[in-house]
Amino acid sequence: MRRFLFSDIVDNVNHIKSTVCDDLLTTRFFSPPNNPKETFCVVYLRNMVEKQIVNEGIVFPIMLFYHNRSSHEPLSEVLKDNIIVSSHIKLTNLMEELFTGLLTGMTVLLLNKSSECLLIETNNRVIRSPQEPDNEKVLRGPRESFVESLDFNIQLIRRRIVSTDLHLDYQVIGKETKTRICLCYMKNLVSPELVPIVKARLSRINFDGILDTNIINEKIKDAKYTPFKTIGVTERPDVFAGKILEGKVGIIADGTPVALSMPYLFIDNFYSPDDYYLNVYFASFGRILRMIGFLVSVLTPALYIAISTHHWEIIPSPMALTIAHSQQDIPLPTILECIVMLIIFELIRETGLRTPIGIGQALSIVGAIVIGQAAVQARLVSSPMVIVISLTAITGLINTKLKGLVIVTRIFFLIMAFLLGLFGMALGVLLLIAHITGLKSFNVSYIANFWPLTKQNLKDSFTRMPKKNIYHQGEQEHG
């Protein structure tokens, strides 16, 4: 039910005080000397407004206006259009809009004998300076990142895409947080079916608090129970702008530096911002390395388990004897030995991430060396197992954004290899391929970038061709 403002200024102020109950709430009444009946009141939260703007942009101009007033036009309209100095002023008669504005840093101007109020932009929100994001560092290219301000992030995008075709669609979601979000896309490049799908999914979000884009991600993604990402995330404005120029839709939310882009395909997991700032040969080599690293990190432990448990005959006899000798007196079964070592490595990595940078790096390196050597000397694990886990760990760090996917698929292949050997691994690969081919990201096939195997699809998939040979996604769809 919509509630409207009272016509009495005192009733409005009392209602605000009883509802907000904030010791930082400030209410200031003013009565012009030559018009004592035309009292007005400014209401704001002290820690959320710029007091100089309130005094010089609102109070002083109004007092001066009252002193020289001769017009009989509606007072609220005159103040809004001609007197108050602010970048954004809104006239409303709804209590809900009043409280939303007040709690987001706006100043409320209440007039005597008026059931309307003015919401005036006076926010003094502090914005941190953009810095290079820790998770998306590049060897060459911009060093900026998004910050926690939606307006500032839009400015970063506008600076990179100077085009009238860039469309920005603002929305508010979250019952309690009322978080502002912005949909960004190129009208001349985006697929006509994509934008309505994204808007429809956003409209179905029924959640009290939207504090981060990850909540939006979970609410609008296609497959709820899959380790594969179907929505891209980034903190880099250049990456976000590049996705929009490919014909994708981006979402930026107020209060978080993490932006979303969709659709997100399987091959996108192996892209890096460096790919478009380095020489085409180095970029292609790096992309292939990331793909090989993913396969090695996922399959190496399972391959070792399959061979050492079911298929001794396929490896040379000297190697088989060496592995068998190293496993003597080891109290744990091979599969359990592998899982324990993987868990220990993940614990070391998580500890390194959660501690200060200098300490974390030293802890990760020293911890891995000391624990591995001590475990071998104590005959708790075998030397080949330490080598396998080390190789797995190193290759898993090549592409950190695949960390969650690598952990889940690695455990899956370990179980399949332990139960059925190499046949189980082959079956696991087939099941994984079937799962990937069945996924979609906003009605786009998850393997669209490299299947079918056409010349156009391969120009920017496994390798990167020179830029003159690469078409934007929007150009492919419309041309």
Distance from C-alpha of 105 to C-alpha of 87, rounded to nearest angstrom: 14
Residue type, 457: N
220 and 317 together in one domain: no
Domain that holds residue 198: 134-264
162 and 259 together in one domain: yes
111 and 76 together in one domain: yes
Distance from C-alpha of 32 to C-alpha of 426, rounded to nearest angstrom: 85
Residue type, 102: L
204 and 169 together in one domain: yes
284 and 416 together in one domain: yes
Q: Tell me the C-alpha to C-alpha distance, in Å, between residue 446 and each of 199, 441, 475.
A: 21, 6, 19
307 and 358 together in one domain: yes
Does the CA dihedral 325-330-332-336 come out positive or negative? negative
479 residues of the chain, pLDDT tens digit each:
678 898 888 899 999 988 887 767 888 888 877 767 778 899 998 888 888 888 888 888 888 887 776 555 667 778 887 888 887 889 999 999 999 899 888 999 998 888 889 999 988 777 788 888 888 888 888 888 999 999 899 999 999 999 999 999 999 998 888 899 999 999 999 998 999 999 999 999 988 889 899 999 999 998 888 999 999 999 999 999 999 998 999 999 999 999 999 999 998 999 888 888 888 888 888 888 999 999 999 999 999 999 988 888 888 888 888 888 888 888 888 899 899 889 888 888 888 777 776 666 666 666 777 777 888 888 888 888 889 988 998 888 888 888 889 999 999 999 999 999 999 999 999 999 999 999 999 999 998 877 766 666 666 677 777 665 454 444 444 33
258 and 140 together in one domain: yes
* Domain-embedded: residue 413: yes
Cα within 13 Å of Cα(186), Cβ side = 23
296 and 409 together in one domain: yes
* Domain-embedded: residue 456: no
260 and 284 together in one domain: no
Count of domains observed in the chain: 3
* Domain-embedded: residue 463: no
